[in-house]
Amino acid sequence: MEDIKRVAEIIKERGNVVAFTGAGISVESGIPTFRGAQGLWERYDPDEYAHISSFLRNPEKVWMMLREMAQVIFQAKPSPAHEALSELEKMGYLRAVITQNVDGLHHLAGNKNVIEYHGNHRWLVCPSCREKTPFTQDVLGIYPYPRCERCERALKPDVVFFGENIPFDAMIRANEEAKSCKVMIIIGTSGVVYPAAEIPYISKSQGAVIVEMNIERTPFTNSITDYFFPGSASTYLPQIVRLLS
């Protein structure tokens, strides 16, 4: 409790907070993580299902997993941690959320400045002509997969597959926010996927206080984290909001 009070004081003094989020913030929304015992990559080999060359070679196979992911995402609601980040933005403390998540839950919670580093699963994009269309529930009924109306290619969710580049705009904006924030809160990420995992190191190198919330320790914990909160972000973030209210 002492540490959470201290972090609330730091946020009050410094303001200018950026949150860097991963799959752990959406666990209580009903979306499993990628790594770990219940993780998506335990059931689906990412080389076979998450690499862009696998998608282009066999979209029908990859769409089996994408359909499952989409069903989970469509049912998910923001967690207390998402809601707390939205409150922190409304209160003027949180300047941006940089998320690796593709579930769109930060937007649904009401955050306005959200940088989706790995894209968004609620949109479809044509890998050939880059035309984008909303990924709505009815797309799940199109077999074996939806096609681009313009060029007939298999559409993919507008998310970054392994082997693809990070969207340029997201990368630039994320780097700017990381450089200029005074407090970075890292939430529910294993910190092993690059270049996303570089972001907290950029903030640390510019003097930001690093706060981390995770049920397990990560590569950040012993290297750059100043305040580590072991457990669910849905426990700690609402406490911070209450202390600042």
Active-site residues, by number, are 118
Selected range binding ligand OAD among 27-35, 122-130, 136-144, 167-175, rule: CB under 6 A: 27-35
CA nearest to 212, candidates 240, 184, 238: 184
In a 13 Å sphere around the CA of 198, the CA atoms on its Cβ side amount to: 9
CA dist 113 and 160 (Å) reads 20
Alpha carbon of residue 113 to chain centroid = 13
Nearer to ligand OAD, 16 or 215 (CB): 215
Task: State the amino acid at position 105 in one-letter form.
Answer: L
User: Interface residues for ligand OAD in 205-244 (CB under 6 A)?
Assistant: 213-216, 218, 232-233
Give least dist CB 78 to ligand OAD, A: 14
- Counting contacts by CB under 6 A, is residue 39 touching ligand OAD? yes
Which residue in the set 29, 33, 54, 225 belongs to the binding site for ligand OAD (CB under 6 A)?
33
CA dist 154 and 62 (Å) reads 11
Which helix (H) or strand (E) segment is 136 a member of?
none
Q: Which residues have a Cβ under 8 Å from the Cβ of 153 and sit 6 or more positions away?
A: 126, 127, 128, 129, 147
- Counting contacts by CB under 6 A, is residue 123 touching ligand OAD? no
The contact mask relative to ligand OAD for 154-183 (x = CB under 6 A, - = no) is -----xx-----------------------
- Interacting residues toward ligand OAD by CB under 6 A: 22-24, 27-28, 33-35, 39, 100, 118, 159-160, 188-190, 193, 213-216, 218, 232-233
